[in-house]
């Protein structure tokens, strides 16, 4: 697997008002690569954000909802969440699963970022991440 950090840096450099970009393994919750330009984003902070991202896509409550849906529909429903967008008072968080690699990519920007451009930058990066991981 190639070094993913240059791809992360490129996303932060290319997306207007981007603060951070990371790649998280959905099986282990491990942060595989990241780049940010925020001085207080310590390793423990980044690890906590990585764990939160995994919970949003594969957490206990998400799995419980999928189990209930499976029971009612009579077919297995698993790993249904593909993209998540959240907002805080000052940041946007764009998240997307790359199924073939079992990772989630996370882009954090200021709220001044155009949401369409945030999604576009994230999706373009997914291709680069997937290629780098092959």
The predicted-structure confidence for 5-20, as pLDDT tens digits, reads as follows: 999 999 999 999 999 9
122 CB burial (10 A radius; 0-12, 13-18, 19+): buried
CB 32 within 8 A of CB 39: no
Provide the pLDDT for residue 37: 94
Provide the pLDDT for residue 9: 96
Mean pLDDT of the chain: 92
In CATH, what is the architecture of 5-133?
Answer: 2-Layer Sandwich (3.30)
Calpha distance 17→114 (Å, rounded): 9
Provide the pLDDT for residue 1: 61
Domain boundaries, the chain: 5-133
Q: Three-class SS string for 58-103? A: HCHHHHHHHHHHHHHHCCCCCCCCCEEEEECCCEEEEEEEEHHHCE
**What pLDDT, in 10s, does the model give residues 66-119?**
788 888 888 787 777 789 999 999 999 999 999 999 999 999 999 999 999 999
């Amino acid at each position: 697997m190639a070094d993913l950090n240059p791809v992360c840096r490129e996303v932060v450099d290319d997306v207007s008002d981007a603060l951070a970009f990371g790649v998280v393994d959905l099986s282990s919750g491990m942060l595989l690569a990241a780049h940010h330009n925020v001085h207080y984003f310590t390793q423990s902070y980044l690890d906590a954000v990585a764990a939160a991202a995994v919970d949003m896509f594969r957490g206990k409550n998400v799995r419980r909802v999928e189990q209930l849906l499976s029971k009612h529909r009579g077919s297995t429903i698993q790993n249904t969440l593909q993209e998540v967008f959240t907002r805080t008072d000052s940041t946007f968080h764009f998240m997307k699963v790359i199924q073939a690699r079992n990772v989630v990519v996370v882009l954090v920007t200021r709220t001044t970022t155009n949401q369409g451009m945030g999604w576009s930058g994230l999706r373009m990066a997914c291709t680069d991440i997937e290629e780098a991981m092959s």
